[in-house]
């Protein structure tokens, strides 16, 4: 891990040196990406390890790097020039097709600074196939903790598959819990609480649930930590008692605002008060191939399809219900909705919230 951290630090220095001038895709590969691949144990000069410009079929466009195990691709790396916008949906559509033909589960999309890891086999919409996203310039340690999963040894051990399974299960459990609390509580939850609290009226219980701010989090142990279930065990004589401590998870943006006394349903209004968004501003989303729009109201709510919703998440769930065939789908509205900012670029609402927090 130490060698990887050292190499990432060197790459970060190159990004800071050349990023302002801009470098092309080939230089990005040579100076930023290939040094990382070498440090992860991939021999970029050995065609049995790494193949450049790999084509699943002769008629396909080439993939920048195919990392091979037993002469079979296990990971595609799609490279873009440093600073290229990785949010462009055409990149995801491109490599999903390649990976589907080749039967490759994992794809890394990178501009040499940001790395996005996708599980192409996950039976979910493209945006939900994203497993992890890190930027070298944001945190060397976080980048190392994610990039180490792509090492040759760990790809052989399928560790990333095990981590994905835990991540995917936790995500579904969190969504199910969010759905139970959505808009005053699910009917099944209301029945349970009514039995437990016979002295309270249902309307009072439902009102309490609307006021509730329930946060569900799951501990995430770095893969190199002693308490990680994926850590390779040392020989019996050298084995040490695992630590009982769980690494602290960083406080979410929503959690930071709650700590400041701003509840979830007030956060959009706070952004309006400080001029980050305005009444009447259009919100955009894309779901299952459909372009969706909503607007921010003067009251700090979200108007979608003629109805007003208390939060971005509630409006996002409603939009998914309309375009996804019905049913409530718990949604993080801050990532679901995007909006235009000065200069004409479109960014997720979570970026605007993060910008507000950075000034605090």
Question: Which of 132-136, 164-168, 324-328 comes out lowest in average pLDDT?
Answer: 324-328
Between these two residues, 310 and 343, which has the higher pLDDT value?
Answer: 310
For residue 236, pLDDT over 50 is answered with: no
Would you list the DSSP string of 158-186?
Answer: THHHHHHHHHHHHHHHHHHHHHHHGGG--
**Does residue 216 have a pLDDT over 70?**
no
pLDDT band at 225 (very low <50, low <70, confident <90, very high): very low
H runs (alpha helix) in 19-104: 25-28, 34-39, 89-102
**Conformation bin of residue 228: beta by default, left when phi > 0, alpha when psi is -120 to 50:** beta
Structure tokens given for 62: 């080439």
**pLDDT band, very low/low/confident/very high, at 330 (cuts 50, 70, 90):** low
Does pLDDT of 243 surpass 70?
no
Mean pLDDT of 169-192: 72
**Tens of pLDDT along 266-306?**
888 889 988 999 999 999 998 877 889 999 999 999 999 99
Predicted local distance difference test score (pLDDT) of residue 230: 39
Q: Which fold has domain 2-157?
A: tt1808, chain A (3.90.1570)
| Structure-model confidence comparison of residues 272 and 161, the more confident one | 272
Model confidence band, residue 231 (pLDDT cutoffs 50, 70, 90) = very low
Q: How many CA atoms lie within 13 A of 32 on its CB side?
A: 31
Distance CA 339, CA 350 (A): 10
Statement: residue 249 has pLDDT above 50 = no
The phi, psi pair for 104, rounded to 5°, reads: -95, 125
Note the pLDDT of residue 222: 46
Q: What's the confidence (pLDDT) of residue 341?
A: 82
Residue 159 to residues 129, 148, 154, 276, 333, Cα–Cα distance (Å): 17, 10, 6, 41, 31
Sign of CA dihedral 318, 323, 327, 328: negative
Candidates 125, 183, 174, 205; CA nearest to 315 is 183
Summary mean pLDDT of the chain: 81
- Rounded distance between C-alpha atoms, residue 355 and residue 18, angstroms: 25
Residue 228, pLDDT above cutoff 50: no
Instruction: Name the pLDDT band for 237 (thresholds 50, 70, 90).
Output: very low
Of residues 38 and 71, the one with the higher pLDDT is: 38
Residue-range domain boundaries for the chain: 2-157, 162-251, 256-358
* Alpha carbon distance 207, 53 (integer Å): 58
Where does the pLDDT of residue 112 fall: very low under 50, low under 70, confident under 90, or very high at 90 and above? very high
β pairing state of 50-54 and 63-69: antiparallel
* Per-residue pLDDT tens over the stretch 331-351: 788 888 999 887 677 888 988
What is the pLDDT, as a whole number, of residue 232?
41
Contact 88, 24 (CB under 8 A): no
Please give the pLDDT value at position 58.
83
Can you give the pLDDT at residue 36? 97
Per-residue model confidence (pLDDT) at position 215: 65
The answer to whether residues 243 and 226 touch, using CB atoms and an 8 Å cutoff, is yes
> How far does Cα 194 stand from its chain's mean position?
37
Give per-residue pLDDT as tens, 52-95. 999 888 888 899 999 999 889 999 999 999 999 898 877 777 77
Q: What is the structure's pLDDT at 208? A: 82
Pick the more confident residue, 45 or 179: 45
């Amino acid at each position: 891990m130490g060698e990887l951290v050292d190499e990432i630090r060197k790459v970060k220095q190159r990004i800071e040196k050349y990023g302002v001038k801009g470098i092309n895709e080939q230089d990005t590969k040579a100076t930023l990406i290939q040094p990382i691949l070498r440090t992860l144990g991939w021999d970029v000069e050995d065609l049995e390890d790494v193949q450049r410009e790999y084509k699943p079929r002769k008629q396909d466009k080439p993939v920048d790097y195919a990392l091979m195990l037993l002469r079979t691709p296990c990971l595609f790396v799609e490279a873009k020039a440093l600073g290229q916008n990785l949010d462009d949906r055409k990149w995801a559509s491109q490599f999903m097709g390649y990976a589907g033909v080749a039967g490759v589960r994992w794809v890394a999309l990178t501009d040499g600074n940001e790395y996005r890891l996708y599980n192409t086999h996950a039976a979910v919409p493209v945006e939900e196939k994203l497993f992890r996203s890190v930027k070298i310039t944001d945190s060397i340690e976080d980048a190392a903790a994610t990039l180490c999963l792509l090492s040759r040894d760990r790809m052989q051990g399928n560790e990333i598959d095990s981590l994905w399974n835990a991540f995917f299960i936790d995500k579904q459990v969190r969504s199910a819990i969010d759905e139970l609390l959505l808009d005053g509580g699910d009917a099944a939850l209301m029945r349970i609480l009514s039995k437990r609290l016979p002295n309270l009226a249902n309307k009072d219980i439902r009102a309490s649930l609307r006021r509730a701010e329930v946060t569900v989090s799951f501990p995430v142990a770095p893969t190199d930590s002693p308490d990680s279930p994926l850590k390779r065990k040392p020989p019996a004589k050298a084995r040490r008692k695992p630590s009982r401590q769980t690494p602290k998870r960083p406080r979410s943006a929503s959690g930071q605002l709650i700590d400041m006394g701003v509840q979830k349903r007030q956060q959009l209004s706070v952004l309006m008060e400080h001029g980050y968004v305005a009444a009447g501003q259009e919100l955009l989303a894309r779901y299952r191939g459909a372009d969706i729009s909503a607007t921010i109201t003067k009251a700090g709510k979200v108007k979608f399809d003629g109805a007003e919703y208390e939060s971005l998440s509630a409006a996002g769930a409603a939009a998914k219900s309309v375009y996804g065939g019905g049913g409530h789908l718990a949604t993080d509205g801050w990532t679901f909705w995007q909006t235009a900012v000065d200069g004409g670029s479109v960014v997720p609402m979570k970026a605007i919230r993060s910008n507000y927090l950075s000034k605090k």
